[in-house]
Structure 1
Amino acid sequence: MKDKNPISASEIGTLWLTYQEKTMILRILEYFIEKADDQQAKNIMGGLWQELSYYVTKIKNIFQEQGIAIPIGFTDTDVNLEAPKLYDNGFDIMFVRILKEISMGMYTLNMNMSYQDEVMEIYEGLTSTTQKIYKSSTLYLLEKGILTLPPKVTMPKSSEFVESKNYLNGFNLFNKKRALNDIELGYLHHGIETNNIGMQLITGFAQCATNKEVKQYFVKGKELAKKQIKVFEDILLQNDVQFSATSGSTVTPSKVAPFSQKLMMFCIYLLNGFGLVGSSFGTIFSLRKDVSMKTTLIAKDIYFYADEGVKIMIENGWLEEPPQMEDRAKLMKD
């Protein structure tokens, strides 16, 4: 591969980021598998661990063949398998399902930036794995009564076109707001579901963080998740839609960190990126102006929160630097 055609900068970048994400997930899975009480959940996570480990090795081999420095990523030092259980009541599979949602979007983008057969095969394989695990996780959670279905609506009996610009109304007090359409309902439900899981995750992180600044950052993230849930629930209630909250999960009283602060911060960094993308989709496809404006403001809050987290990671030496082009100006000056 090295002799025939070296991989491109975009492929190096996507493989590097994939390596970071997958080594993080492997460490999280190792802890969840160790603490899981349910054999079916263990089987789902164990199968995922094996497949991700295989692709991590493939990425490492490509880097070695190409003479590229292998990233540090996340290692055994970033997980404490002896730590008591921090989450209960199906949180492990709930979180795996969210991670697979993120992965599906990332693999599509990464495939679009790939040109080598070997690189494209990695993303094809990871996509297949992700879809399989996402499906099995969803069915497991529904079977256990942990996951809540989106609101049910009246089935449409005909196809229609928008006849007036009033369809976009939302801010004018003198104009009646139309009912939410099914696309908007779907994004609002998804926003509540993902933020509920994120709130549980970051609550546990805040409990066991030892760095004061990191602990405060996680507490701030918890409040941001609660704010988003309230915004989405208020929109639904104003439109006579009752959201049935998931039974969720339980954060135990444990204050022993199962993961390094570097891993916990990177995990939130990854989820912030997912939150920004999700808010962007909600803004674009919400045709009622008040709904799209609220999702835009949420995206702004997530952006500034994410930026604060990156600065904390840099200050503590936790942010591994991605591969980059040569600084030609500096080389010529030297």
Structure 2
Amino acid sequence: MTSTSSSLSSIEMSQLWGSYINDSALLCQLSHFSVHTDDEKIKALLLKCCELSKGHLKTLKELFDKEQFAVPYGFKVNEDCYLTSSRLYTDSFYLTYILHMSRIALQTYSLSLSYSSRADIFSYFSECINETGELLRTVTALLMERGEYVKPPEIPVPTTKGYVEGQHSLSGFIGKKRSLTVIEISQLFANFERNQLGMKVMTSFLQVSKDPEVKKLMNRGIEIATKHCDILENKLIENHLPAPISSDVGITESTEPTFSEKLMTFYTSSLIGLSVGYYGQALGVSPRRDLGINYDRLIHELLLFSEDAAQLMIKKEWLEQPPIAPDRDKLIHE
């Protein structure tokens, strides 16, 4: 990366620190995936993903060392991933997981890039976007080739244009409801898909976890994700749109420990945080009142669940401290 003498901003610190944590966690999952597939194309893709994560971690560590920035502990393959355990997921799961992680990463990297003022940080996130875009293209093509890509609902192409007329376009409880816009459809569909994947992930974690408190958390997460899938799916069906059809995303019958309890709880907490953000985004672009009320309720439920997950991680000493601003009041009174 291009060198620079300016100091890191708080946002750059935040994005770099988070990137290191996420890549270290993802590498643990991808490493296990890569040793448990016989499909040559999928193995090649998984190994490529591993190399990308390793490259990111190496670059980030070098940058942290140069800045005298404490390298996050994150996750370690030899501590948080049990490569010799039995296979936990099917090939279809691997591809669907990479698809969603690529989509999430592209959004995260775009935000990181937009707030990067230093040339070397800008260059790093720009490269990450290019790599992830190519990865998304590859996994999408592979899913389509296998007939496993789940397409969003289709509606006729508009042949006219105009402006919204009447307040009924905002209604959703009383009187005639207007049809959903493509923006609202896309949010319902995308949030349904993410909840469905989250439900599968937590089910797999519940299956292999040996910690009663972690199992309790996963059980609750599955119940919430199932409920949210039903709500989102019903909104599509009510509007005479096809309900999303799940691809063959599968979990094996293995009950052997596959990932550390810490890693599984971290991923569950991360999924909660992502869902809150995506629901907030959906709330902002869904003017129909019934949709807004639904998203508001779902967010509130997730925030309560998020607090429980955070409390468990703190209790187990699994929640790593992000960079924090100096406590000026404490310093003044010392």
Aligned match of 1:39: 40
Instruction: Give the aligned residue type for 1:51.
Output: L
Give the corresponding residue for 1:204: 204
Verify the 8 A CA contact 1:196 1:248 in the aligned structure 2.
no
Counterpart in 1 of 2:76? 75
Q: Equivalent residue for 1:102?
A: 104
SS in 2 for 1:90: helix
Q: Check conservation: 1:110, 1:123, Cα contact below 8 A.
A: yes
Checking the alignment, whether the CA contact within 8 Å between 1:2 and 1:66 is kept in structure 2 is no
Shift of the 325–2 alpha-carbon distance from structure 1 to 2, 3 Å rule, reads farther
Shift of 1:155: 1.6
Which amino acid in the other structure matches residue 171 of structure 2? N
Letter in 1 for 2:152: P
The verdict on how the C-alpha distance between 1:248 and 1:223 changes in structure 2, with shifts beyond 3 A counting, is: farther
Judge conservation of contact 2:169–2:178 (CA < 8 Å) in 1.
yes
CA RMSD, Structure 1 to Structure 2 (Å): 1.6
Contact 2:170 2:287 in 1 (8 A): yes
CA distance in 1 between partners of 2:38 and 2:256 (Å): 19
Unaligned stretches of 5+ in structure 1? none
Asked whether 1:145 is paired with 2:147, we answer: yes
> 1:90 is matched with which residue: 89, 92, 101?
92
Equivalent-residue separation in structure 2 for 1:227 and 1:317 (angstroms): 30
Alignment of 1:161-310 (within 5 A): 161-172=163-174, 175-310=175-310
2:133 to 127, 131, 149: 131
Larger deviation: 207-216 or 235-244?
235-244
- Secondary structure of 1:177's counterpart equals coil
Normalised by the length of structure 2, the TM-score is: 0.95
Cα distance in 1 for partners of 2:198, 2:299 equals: 15
> d(CA) in 1 for partners of 2:127 and 2:182?
33
2:113 counterpart residue number: 111
CA–CA distance in structure 2, aligned partners of residues 325 and 187 of structure 1: 35
CA distance in 2, matches of 1:306, 1:141: 32
SS state at 2:273 partner:
helix
Q: 1:90 deviation in Å?
A: 0.9
Contact 1:48 1:129 in 2 (8 A): no
Percentage identity across paired residues of the two chains: 27
In terms of mean alpha carbon deviation, does 12-21 or 104-113 score higher? 104-113
User: 2:324 matched to which residue of 1?
Assistant: 324
Q: CA deviation at 1:3?
A: 8.4
Q: CA deviation at 1:246?
A: 1.8
The count of aligned residue pairs is 332
**Matched AA of 1:328:** R
Q: Distance in 2 between matches of 1:224 and 1:3?
A: 46
Cα deviation, 1:209-265, whole Å, max 9, x if unaligned, reads: 111111010011111111111001111111122214123312212111211111111
Measure, in 1, the Cα distance between the counterparts of 2:231 and 2:101.
Answer: 24
- Residue identity opposite 1:63 in structure 2: F
The answer to whether the Cα contact below 8 Å between 1:197 and 1:248 also exists between their aligned partners in 2 is no
From the superposition, tell whether residues 314 and 2 of structure 1 become closer, same or farther in structure 2 (CA, over 3 Å).
farther
In structure 1, distance between residues paired with 2:182 and 2:310? 36
Misfit runs of 4+, over 4 Å: none
Cα deviation 1:248-283 (Å, max 9, x = unaligned): 312212111211111111112222121111111211
Q: Is residue 276–residue 302 contact of structure 1 (8 Å, CA) maintained in 2?
A: yes
SS at match of 2:259: coil
**In the TM superposition, what whole-angstrom CA distance separates every residue of 1:136-178 from its partner, at most 9, and x where no partner exists?**
1122122212221111212211112111111111111xx1111
Q: Distance in 1 between matches of 2:20 and 2:96?
A: 22
**Distance (whole Å) between structure 2 residues aligned to residue 123 and residue 3 of structure 1:** 15
Q: Which amino acid aligns with 1:303?
A: L
The amino acid of 2:265's aligned partner reads M
Q: Which amino acid aligns with 2:47?
A: G
